Homo-oligomer: A and B are copies of this chain.
Amino acid sequence: MKNTFGQSVAITIYGESHGEAVGVVLDGLAPGIPVDRDYIDERLTLRRPSGRISTARQEQDEYRIVSGVFEGRTTGTPLCIVIPNTQTRSKDYSATRWLARPGHADYTANCKYHGYEDYRGGGHFSGRITAGIVAAGAIALTALHQKGILTATHVLRCGGVADRNFGDLQADMQALQNDPFPVLDAAAKDAMRQKIEAAAEAGDSMGGVLETVVTGVPVGVGEPFFDTVEGLMAHALFGIPAIKGVQFGDGFDMADAMGSAFNDPFRMENGNVTTSTNHNGGINGGITNGMPILFRCMVKPTPSIYKEQQTVDFRTHENADLQIHGRHDPAIIHRAAVVVDSMAALVLCDVLAGRFGTDWFIQ
């Protein structure tokens, strides 16, 4: 399906970094969900670059919803969002047209699309494409919020600095909501920013680890063997440019643990089944167990760096040196937080609608 993901609730992604627009078609979401442009704007703002640690390209993301909304609510038919590109500076790219930028998709796209790809700014492989996911995700989140399902993502690790783990979930999740650099611990936040600024000054870039929590998902959701919550979520998350690792619960961090430590004991609490630990991240056998869903994404350092790099010219097939110009982010991990959050929301709408029917989200 390539650029479409989801069965009951699906999104279709389109656009290139320096083309006319990027956008998304959101299909299958229940009718009657309020489409709140202020909230969509708020979410798009979190993705938008700002300050010294981001690219100087400033897109206002003045999107248009051209279908699927009537009298302020979703109709239940496809909702198409068009986000025009306005701040393109394509000449930044023509000089290096045939030089594969290391870590980018230039070379692989050239092999796959035989030179017909729009190479400017990474074309369809640009992080710019994620604006559509954030816009559609905001509507998905509205649907989830109505059902008591909440999400939050923080930068768990960046430049060797670790944020603290989630503590009081309600307070922590609230604190992260509108933070353009979402870190729980204030000192860690400052230290991370400094690391990124130092990297920027050195013409280099940083990556890190994001951690996401989702609360309120009912027990019994997920469709093993293959359409586990983990599998569907990971499939979608790996579409986000720069994500190279996904783990649920403690994942790799407890690779050395024994079963007696990793198993989450079940306990009754206020009449509900719960687990006293959550190493499995709220999922057993690919199905939600009612505990918070927890997962982490490794975001690789932005491949666009200003240091000179070795590469090849894929037209002449000769070694070459590459000096990137243009406007680039020394880190996108903080901007990626809202993208991960949005993608998670879309995947959850899909599995919930598949499990409980399309009308489940209707209030």
Contact = CB atoms under 8 A, between A and B. Distances in A.
Contacts of A311: 265-266
Interface string A152-168: 00000111100000000
B244 A251 contact: yes
A123 B251 contact: no
Report whether over half of chain A's contact residues are helix, strand or loop; otherwise say mixed: mixed
Given A124-B77, A225-B129, A264-B103, A117 B245 contact: no
A298 B103 contact: no
A356 to B, nearest CB: 4
Contacts of A25: 3, 12, 14, 25
A182 interface: no
A15 interface: yes
Nearest to A108: B287
A186 interface: no
B260 A305 contact: yes
11 contacts: A13-B226, A66-B84, A67-B124, A70-B116, A70-B123, A73-B116, A105-B286, A108-B219, A125-B285, A244-B251, A263-B309
B3 A225 contact: yes
Contacts of A104: 284-285
Interface in A299-314: 299-305, 307, 309-312, 314
